[in-house]
Amino acid sequence: MVLFNCEGTKSGTKGSECQRSCSALNMECVSTECISGCVCPEGLVADGMGGCVKEETCPCIHNGVPYQPGSKIKVSCNKCTCKKSKWECTSNECHGTCAIYGDGNYITFDEKRFRFSGGCEYTLTQDYCSKSINGTFRVVTENVPCGTTGTTCSKAIKLYLEGNELVLAEGKYHVIQRETGSEIPFKIRTMGIYLVVEANNGLILIWDRKTSMFIKLAPTFEGRVCGLCGNYDGNGNNDFTTRSQSPVANAVDFGNSWKVAPTCPDAELIKDPCTSNPYRQAWAQKQCSIINSNVFSTCHSQVDPGQYYDACVSDSCACDSGGDCECFCTAVASYAQACNEAGVCVAWRTPQICRESQQTTQAKALCRNENVFI
């Protein structure tokens, strides 16, 4: 940088107060007084660290992390390239995603997080909303408990679509065709450890055959769905809307309202498993620390690990023994899947930690394929 002295300059001259920088390349400067100070030579801009660089070499910022020009990242279903401190992104319309994993961890289409664990059947998402009888689909889930703590070991899932019913349970699927002779409106395939159901209406259901599932909906469903996955209207603040269209403040009232059978007993507030099982807390914290470790360092700037770590500790405390229900592995795999969706592939499984199976090895080999789930 060089020193610019305002003394003796003409009226209206701009000084260091109008120095262009990488963080404000196109911001117009309105100067009321010329201020002497250090400025960059002509043709260069301030890099924010006391130096000067060419405009085209300015970095871009994403989640507080700088990226050099030419860097590429994935944001939802779009790919972005850094050019002159700005991200240039494709404009694909992305599916919304609702994630349900472990022992009652939910992330709605509008990214509201909550915990709810009950022993009934619950509506996850449907387009039978606001007393409408013209809906086309419904996804229902039921937790299958195990062990002495009642921790969820697996989920039974039912998809109702166009007169057909698809049942996913005990790692398998079964199709009940209600309209004889009609074409089944979905395709089923295996990708890594996941069973993937692709419906012809823009719904994709991804299930790990145990306690995790991801429901993806096309943008055409925005604001047209309801259930535990929320209303997909871009506003997470109104996701706690009950079956009767009333807003509530807590997850328990919200979750109980979406029971399929009103006579099924209401769930109660979840007690902190680590308080109930304090002897497991140290083990859970140690195991789950992998989420905050260097193993996932390339993902931390893309997907905040904090809440995934908290869910991992809670679920791991709830298990009867170290590997019961694969609580720990499921929780870490959920974070790995979120990283993969953000374009970051992490090979985290080892012979000692959630050993790879043939399916996970296949998924890792294809991990960078945006259509593969791990």
pLDDT tens track for 62-103: 888 888 999 998 888 899 999 888 899 999 999 999 999 988
pLDDT of residue 367: 61
Which amino acid is residue 305, in one-letter code? P
Number of Cβ within a 10 Å radius of residue 70? 10
Residue 133 has pLDDT above 80, yes or no: no
Query: Roughly how many angstroms between the first and final C-alpha of the chain, as a whole number?
Result: 49
Helix H segments across the chain? 251-257, 273-276, 281-288, 297-300, 306-318, 327-341, 358-365
User: How far apart are the C-alpha atoms of 104 and 123, rounded to whole Å?
Assistant: 14
pLDDT of residue 179: 67
pLDDT of residue 191: 86
Please answer whether residues 176 and 136 qualify as being in contact, where contact means their C-beta atoms are separated by less than 8 angstroms: no
Structural tokens at position 151: 């921790």
Cross-strand partners of 159:
139, 166
pLDDT of residue 373: 44
User: How far apart are the C-alpha atoms of 168 and 106, rounded to whole Å?
Assistant: 19
User: How far apart are the C-alpha atoms of 163 and 138, rounded to whole Å?
Assistant: 11
Secondary structure (3-state) at 195: strand
Secondary structure (3-state) at 273: helix
pTM over 0.75: yes
pLDDT of residue 359: 52
Please answer whether residues 230 and 97 qualify as being in contact, where contact means their C-beta atoms are separated by less than 8 angstroms: no
Please answer whether residues 46 and 40 qualify as being in contact, where contact means their C-beta atoms are separated by less than 8 angstroms: yes
Nearest to 2 by CA among 56, 47, 54, 42: 42
Q: What is the pLDDT of residues 263-307, one digit of tens each?
A: 999 988 878 889 888 888 998 999 999 999 999 999 999 999 999
Cross-strand partners of 113:
107
Task: Look over the chain and give the mean of its residue pLDDT values, rounded to a whole number.
Answer: 86
Residues whose CB is less than 8 angstroms from the CB of residue 306 and which lie 6 or more positions away in sequence, other chains included: none
